[in-house]
Structure 1
């Protein structure tokens, strides 16, 4: 006698959860190319030729580097499972120590001391969170407060006794800058023609080959180096396993404490390097409040980049560009970019309509219409809005990219050796 399998109401197949496809490199490049074409169209319509000029791109790169370095610091820590809200404080320590050593013994010694200052902050964060199990957010906020107070106190009897003051250091010798001969002049010439797309591409290339600090080159190289170490080496695999499943990593012989300590100390070193970049490249001295919350923006760039170096670099570039608008006739440039936002939101609305998400499409269309009205009725954006542009961009980017984010599974969770 054969037995037949029967199905009941409880045996109905469960619906599968939709799996979000990752953006492949060709798709990302296509999006970037489309954005560049759209910017070129906006430039031709508005006549705001400065939005893709060599000077604008060069300034954006200079402002993006410290944000990107802070983001790399956050990436190292969070890939090992430790939330590093203290990046801002570690940047402050790097800025102060880098300036203090830089004006005495030269800029490159200042770079080493800046990295050391950030690493000390990272070590303190690791001791508090990894060893004593304190909440990561609480520890990071405490380090930020401690860094502000410590540097303010130290400035009173170091810079004040020299040619500086209680709020700023003496001038520091600049780090060597390089310009690619021939290519830089050619790109400036092409950019000055204001041709469709060609001049915009020339502005991008010219901005990265003109008056480029050697420290900028080092910082740019750290992005592929981080990718290679974390995704192509056994060390990186073990470190990332501590952020995904530390109990499983421990069962395979990984010293989770050691990797968490190393990751957070390296994280602080990156943030400190970003801080010393502000003191020695973006300017030639230390000033109180110099970091300007770039540690937090770097953390936002890391989240926007989905905890990946390439995405982080794109986020840092976006935030650096919006920040650079303050330096070069910002009101006019931002007013022109309102038209760019109108087009982007209209495209987003059409895409959501295609996906039959009618509410999201209606919201995108409404905001697009409001920005179009704003653009039509004004000739320049108020300076207050220009100043807030980096922070507004941070909120908008995080809101639009939130659906595709995937943090390491164990990030921020307490871990105790043998607790599995």
Structure 2
């Protein structure tokens, strides 16, 4: 069975319907309308402000890049929990090169640093057959220890200290330039101060229109050039993995490497390529942290973003579009927390409760449709799971609604935990629709029988 046929079989298993871009646009419009309604009822204007959206985008990019690295690796059948260590290598390498030769050179060297981590992971797992989890943990430990040693050796010299370096931080790195779309989002063009159309609409706080203007202004005002590059990787990764022969070979290794080998695919080569690309993307995420999010390397800078990227990848069902949505969810809640949005997140309780009620109804309807055909044990288990998911969603919705009615704000500690909670709910409610590559984590030996 080819990968394309496997995708079609999975779609048929999930009801025979596959969402396309018009469906996603309708879903996005419906969610925005619901968010606008909640914002209007609760007066939480920060929910869709351009400042919140811009901060969410900056915070989401390193998570997205790490998750995209995980997607490339796991689509080839190699589990990569070493993304955190590869990100750490990218932060150090990007800062080391960036303060000497400029931010873009820092980005390139950061990608190279992460790719070297990916190469090491590929050698261990693909060539020597080391357990993928063990190798990933080793990469994380190695990345942290190596960068701490190198930082103490190279950033604590007299020359580096004179520029602001130290044992736990690098000298400052110049920030990458930002982009603003004139007329729509203001800015200056050759000394001419451009009007800010979206900003003026946002200030009126009109229902839906101002919310849409705030979101559009957030993604078109003071956006880093590296952020624009990261956004371009979304369609590029989808095109390469799902529309090219190279991508088909990579995905075939993640679905059935022995069948791919019998068809002439160089499984080792495809796995190596995918894992090295995975490391390079993680290194790019690390370089983003030292050239955009901050202007220097600091010890502990990644703060678990590699693991959050893995969660976003699972949230997105191992696809670039879903991964993007999961990354934005994490970035959005982090932005709300940083901007002191306890009251705004309080409004999100109502928003989430309404979504969970919708999920409960959908799962109940799905169980009702499956019930007449529940003649086998597998079908009866599917019906039972749908009813359990519906009940879980309904109970969670009632709990959030009660919380919303009995409180006026949300503690900051719970705000930062929100994306993790939502990820757990997605895994619980929609686990039957999540499908990782069939041979993910399988040890492959060339010429061996299955």
Of the three residues 394, 400, 410, the one matched with 1:365 is 394
Q: Do residues 51 (structure 1) and 47 (structure 2) align?
A: yes
**What do you get for the CA RMSD once the two structures are aligned?**
1.6
SS state at 2:347 partner = helix
Equivalent in the alignment of 1:405: 434
SS state at 2:410 partner = coil
Equivalent in the alignment of 2:348: 337
Equivalent in the alignment of 2:92: 96
SS state at 2:337 partner = coil
Q: C-alpha displacement at 1:90, in angstroms?
A: 0.4
Equivalent in the alignment of 1:347: 358
Tell me, in whole angstroms, the C-alpha distance in 2 between the residues paired with 1:267 and 1:354.
Answer: 40
Unaligned runs of 5+ in 2: 1-11, 186-195, 369-385
Tell me, in whole angstroms, the C-alpha distance in 2 between the residues paired with 1:239 and 1:35.
Answer: 34
Equivalent in the alignment of 1:210: 221
Tell me, in whole angstroms, the C-alpha distance in 2 between the residues paired with 1:134 and 1:106.
Answer: 38
Q: C-alpha displacement at 1:168, in angstroms?
A: 1.6
Tell me, in whole angstroms, the C-alpha distance in 2 between the residues paired with 1:360 and 1:216.
Answer: 37
Tell me, in whole angstroms, the C-alpha distance in 2 between the residues paired with 1:86 and 1:359.
Answer: 34
Tell me, in whole angstroms, the C-alpha distance in 1 between the residues paired with 2:135 and 2:390.
Answer: 41
Tell me, in whole angstroms, the C-alpha distance in 2 between the residues paired with 1:195 and 1:21.
Answer: 40
Equivalent in the alignment of 2:19: 24
Of the three residues 305, 319, 323, the one matched with 1:312 is 323
Q: Deviations over 1:252-286 (max 9, x none)?
A: 22111111111100100000001110111011111
Equivalent in the alignment of 2:406: 377
SS state at 2:338 partner = coil
What TM-score do you get using the length of structure 2 for normalisation?
A: 0.87
Q: C-alpha displacement at 1:22, in angstroms?
A: 4.8
Q: Deviations over 1:187-235 (max 9, x none)?
A: 1111111111111111111111100111011111111111111111111
Tell me, in whole angstroms, the C-alpha distance in 2 between the residues paired with 1:40 and 1:168.
Answer: 42
SS state at 1:292 partner = coil
Q: C-alpha displacement at 1:359, in angstroms?
A: 4.2
Unaligned runs of 5+ in 1: 1-16
Q: Deviations over 1:311-348 (max 9, x none)?
A: 11111111211121121122112111111112112222
Tell me, in whole angstroms, the C-alpha distance in 2 between the residues paired with 1:346 and 1:79.
Answer: 33
Asked if structure 2 preserves the Cα contact closer than 8 Å seen for 1:20 and 1:404, the reply is no
The number of aligned residues is 404
Equivalent in the alignment of 1:227: 238
SS state at 1:139 partner = helix
Asked if structure 2 preserves the Cα contact closer than 8 Å seen for 1:300 and 1:398, the reply is no
Of 109-118 and 333-342, more deviation after overlay is shown by: 333-342
What TM-score do you get using the length of structure 1 for normalisation?
A: 0.93
Of the three residues 115, 126, 151, the one matched with 1:155 is 151
Equivalent in the alignment of 1:4: none
Q: Do residues 115 (structure 1) and 111 (structure 2) align?
A: yes
Q: C-alpha displacement at 1:402, in angstroms?
A: 1.7
Asked if structure 2 preserves the Cα contact closer than 8 Å seen for 1:111 and 1:276, the reply is yes
Q: Do residues 388 (structure 1) and 417 (structure 2) align?
A: yes
Equivalent in the alignment of 1:3: none
Equivalent in the alignment of 1:165: 166
- After TM superposition, the structure 1 = structure 2 runs for residues 193-272 of structure 1, keeping only pairs within 5 Å, are 193-272=204-283
Tell me, in whole angstroms, the C-alpha distance in 1 between the residues paired with 2:291 and 2:46.
Answer: 26
Tell me, in whole angstroms, the C-alpha distance in 1 between the residues paired with 2:226 and 2:342.
Answer: 30
Asked if structure 2 preserves the Cα contact closer than 8 Å seen for 1:80 and 1:260, the reply is yes
Asked if structure 1 preserves the Cα contact closer than 8 Å seen for 2:353 and 2:400, the reply is yes
SS state at 1:325 partner = helix
Q: C-alpha displacement at 1:150, in angstroms?
A: 0.8
Asked if structure 2 preserves the Cα contact closer than 8 Å seen for 1:319 and 1:393, the reply is no
Q: Do residues 298 (structure 1) and 299 (structure 2) align?
A: no
